[in-house]
Amino acid sequence: MTEHLCDLPAYEQVRRIKDGEISAVELLKSTFERIDAVEGRQATTEPYTPSPTDLEKVHAFITVTRERAHAQAESIDQKVAAGEDPGPLAGVPLAVKDIFCVKDTPSTAGSKILENFISPYSATPVKHLEEDGAVVVGKVNLDEFTFGSSNESSAFLPPVGNPWDPAYVPGGSSGGSTAAVAAGEATISLGTDTAGSIRQPAAFCGVVGMKPTYGRVSRYGLIAFASSLDCPGPVARNITDTALMMNAIAGPDSRDATAANTPVPDYSKGLMEGVKGLRIGLSPEYFKLKYPDPETGELIEQPISPEIESAVLAAAQTFAEMGAEIIEDVSMPNTHHGIPVYFVISRVEAASNLHRYDGVKYGYRFPDEEENLRELYKETRGRGFGIQPKLRILMGMYVSAEQYEKGHYERALRVRTLIRDDFERAFDPSGSYKLDCLLTATTPTTAFKLGAVYGDSVLMQYADLLTVPANHAGVPGLSIPAGFGENGLPIGIQFIGPDFSEATLLRAGRSYEMATEADAWRARQPKVIETL
């Protein structure tokens, strides 16, 4: 099999560049060749007519920043030639979810309302990744303003396809990130996770995705959705590269008052220390789904997909064999409240954050002459926003309106406390469980087909059932690949730990990688690249 530089792990790309075996420009060339081979037609906001070939391509990018990337790669090569340290991510191709501002690039949020917005500055985590030597190859697609779990709500179409089978969704909202990384169109990507938007698509695309603790990574320059839940985080093909990204992006920021002022460990250290003595919990609430029946509204229970349940239990067995203590029957009784609470909190915050788009300061403006400012707002927002942002704004308006839903928002914030309490009990060092982390499925099923769920906003939201509790609680979560379903699509398993325990989660993930290194499933390649 021919080796493509773009398929190497980031740590190996960096080693070869630093040792002078390859140049950053050569690596970039390999990455652009991959993009040209698998990407398909350019996504646009023009009226979309699907064609059969769209179902064979990835369509991960909204913007490919060829010239900007080339200049960055040349600068890395110059540093190497001059004997300077080019950084721990020297030359590594990075795709940035198009919800982050990156200086001098279109920063669209996947929305027509920001289609022509060129950011005058870069988000803090992007800046840190670039300072460490990463090369931004482009901005990747997402659900509009991150509102979705499948990438189908973007204004930029064709929708992103899952590299393992492009007729299936990549997940969302960071689906462009996970698809690009799985297909070798980038080695790493920066995503965001508000209800599972890094972990769910990571599971669907067979890559690693981490939602750090709320406040671990600055949100400055992230186009806001739900400010109390949004977390920037890494997407990579392995744990070692994920740790390199965390080293770059974690830390306080004078421009984000919620970025925690706590010491940042070296996430690369300790990855090989194993899991001996680690207390890993299994919770029955994470093996079943509880949701309202679409017809009757009654709460019904359904087990997660049996093949995903088997993957979680097999992983637990693997950890036990490596010396971890598996604690069963950990009670997390408020797990199923995660989605209803999210329906309230995230919508209220979204409605507030999205009021800034008005056709006045930046972004799309309705071009016709309007009688007054109010009419300009209405025409601009009515035409600039897609259907999902409109839905979220309207729901936010409703549940926060005193005259309609007295006390709903406050009630949701109290139930959020109960969700947080579940985790505090599980991780309490003097409690009955004393867990270092929970081990769960990331998603109830593997990826679904394009068009299968989109439009049903309630069913789509329940795709985040197993990931959203960590967002409410603020605790970190990590999704890693753990095999494939019968349909040939990836399965992800999730670790959730106490505040600022990212290093422990990465250690557990690395141990699992090492234990399963020789498994046959690890040799599989996504459909879009297996014939290249």
Partner 1 sequence: MPTKAKDKAEQAITMGIFKHLVDLAAFELPPEEEEYLRKELNEQLRAIRELEAIEVSEDIPITSHGVPYSVAIMPSLREDIIEICPEADDILDQAPEVEERYIVVPDIPSEALE
Residues 84-123 that bind partner 1 (CB under 8 A): 117-118, 120-121
Give me the catalytic one of 154, 173, 174, 177: 173
Question: Is residue 48 close enough to count as binding partner 1 by CB under 8 A?
Answer: no
CB of 404 to partner 1, least distance (A): 7
From candidates 99, 475, 491, 496, binder to partner 1 by CB under 8 A = 475
Nearer to partner 1, 238 or 467 (CB): 467
Nearer to partner 1, 397 or 515 (CB): 397
For 393-415, give one letter per residue: b (16+ CB within 10 A) or e. Answer: bebbeebbeeeeeeebbeebeeb
Give me the catalytic one of 197, 268, 501, 511: 197
| DSSP state, residue 146 | G
Binding string, residues 395-434; x marks residues near partner 1 by CB under 8 A: x-xxx-x--x---x-xxxxxxxxx-x--------------
Q: What are phi and psi of 223, to 5 degrees?
A: -70, 120
What DSSP string describes 82-128?
TT----TTTT-EEEEETTB--TTSB--TT-GGGTT-B-SS--HHHHH
Q: Whats the size of the chain, residue-wise?
A: 532
State the amino acid at position 143 in one-letter form: D
* Separation of alpha carbons 181 and 167, rounded Å: 18
Nearer to partner 1, 417 or 487 (CB): 417
Give me the catalytic one of 18, 57, 97, 139: 97
Nearer to partner 1, 140 or 376 (CB): 376
Question: Is residue 288 close enough to count as binding partner 1 by CB under 8 A?
Answer: no
According to CB under 8 A, which residues from 492 to 521 bind partner 1? Answer: 499
From candidates 209, 363, 490, 497, binder to partner 1 by CB under 8 A = 363
Question: Is residue 340 close enough to count as binding partner 1 by CB under 8 A?
Answer: yes
Is 29 noted as a catalytic residue in this protein?
no
Element (H, E) at 387: helix 387-399
Nearer to partner 1, 149 or 189 (CB): 149
From candidates 244, 473, 496, 528, binder to partner 1 by CB under 8 A = 473
Q: Give first-to-last CA distance, the chain, whole Å.
A: 10
Who contacts 163 (Cβ-Cβ below 8 Å, separation ≥6)? 38, 58, 170, 179, 182, 183, 205, 526, 527, 528, 529
From candidates 71, 81, 272, 360, binder to partner 1 by CB under 8 A = 360
How distant, in Å, are the alpha carbons of 113, 350, 365, 421 from that of 360? 11, 19, 7, 43
According to CB under 8 A, which residues from 431 to 470 bind partner 1? Answer: 455-458, 461
Q: How many residues bind partner 1 (CB under 8 A)?
A: 88
Q: What are phi and psi of 430, to 5 degrees?
A: -110, 15
Q: What are phi and psi of 178, to 5 degrees?
A: -70, -35
Question: Is residue 300 close enough to count as binding partner 1 by CB under 8 A?
Answer: no
From candidates 375, 428, 519, 530, binder to partner 1 by CB under 8 A = 375
Which tokens sit at 374? Answer: 């109010």
According to CB under 8 A, which residues from 304 to 333 bind partner 1? Answer: none
CB of 263 to partner 1, least distance (A): 10
Nearer to partner 1, 24 or 229 (CB): 229
* Separation of alpha carbons 375 and 121, rounded Å: 31
Estimate the crossing angle of helix 306-321 against helix 502-515, to 10 degrees. 90
Is 197 noted as a catalytic residue in this protein?
yes
CB of 344 to partner 1, least distance (A): 6
Kindly compute the dihedral angle of the four CA atoms of residues 262, 259, 334, 456, in this order, to the nearest 10 degrees: -150
Is 173 noted as a catalytic residue in this protein?
yes
Binding string, residues 183-212; x marks residues near partner 1 by CB under 8 A: ------------------------------
Region class of 145: left (phi > 0), else alpha (psi between -120 and 50), else beta? left
Nearer to partner 1, 116 or 487 (CB): 116
Q: Helices (H) and strands (E) in the chain — how many of each?
A: 16, 13
* Separation of alpha carbons 114 and 215, rounded Å: 26
Nearer to partner 1, 409 or 433 (CB): 409
Question: Is residue 253 close enough to count as binding partner 1 by CB under 8 A?
Answer: yes
Question: Is residue 260 close enough to count as binding partner 1 by CB under 8 A?
Answer: yes
What are the residue numbers of the active site? 97, 173, 197
